[in-house]
Amino acid sequence: MKSRHPDLPVFIVGHSMGGAISILTACERPSDFAGVVLIAPMVQMNPDSATPFKVFLAKVLNHMLPSLTLGSIESKWVSRDKKQVEAYDTDELNFHGGMRVSFGMQLMGAAARIEREIPSINWPFLLLHGDADKLCDIRGSRMMHENAQSSDKKITIYEGGYHALHHDLPEVAESVLTEVTSWITERLPATKSPQPQGS
């Protein structure tokens, strides 16, 4: 995008695991982005499910049976909109199988890297998270908002919101789109209007 539009600021928007990737990308190349928008990002593992025993077990299994599959995502927690859940279930581009142990280890590694990076984050970011999200722990978003150095940071909690806020109930999805658009627009450089000829 930078080579195609060298004069335009670049923003990165990431959701869920894409949120984790966006955070790590912005940490590696902070000067590439004018801002980062994160919708229900995976910032840390849910401490209720990633107990010390389960983490230990995952490490053992990763050495012995790395391709062993664990439980898959329950699609009913993606959105409160039944049509969106049906669309998720029938989308062939979504992976509907179980998560492999080796993949789970990669997620844990990413979460550990993010936790180390958060105190040095100083780029602008907007965090959006539903407080009923059962797939990515909201505590991670709160922790990032509290501990990042950024002077330009904002968190919006959607009451009752599920995981894919941009595909949640129509009024929530619309509110998310409006907020993201406004946040980005406010950070665009002011453009000079062309002067009329002969003035």
Catalytic residue among 163, 166, 167, 168: 163
Report in angstroms the alpha-carbon separations of 79 from 4, 34, 86: 35, 29, 10
Structure tokens at 167: 């595909």
Task: Say whether 163 is catalytic.
Answer: yes
Catalytic residue among 15, 16, 22, 145: 16
Task: Say whether 133 is catalytic.
Answer: yes
User: Rounded distance, CA 194 to CA 191, Å?
Assistant: 9
Catalytic residue among 15, 22, 129, 133: 133
- List residues with catalytic annotation: 16, 133, 163
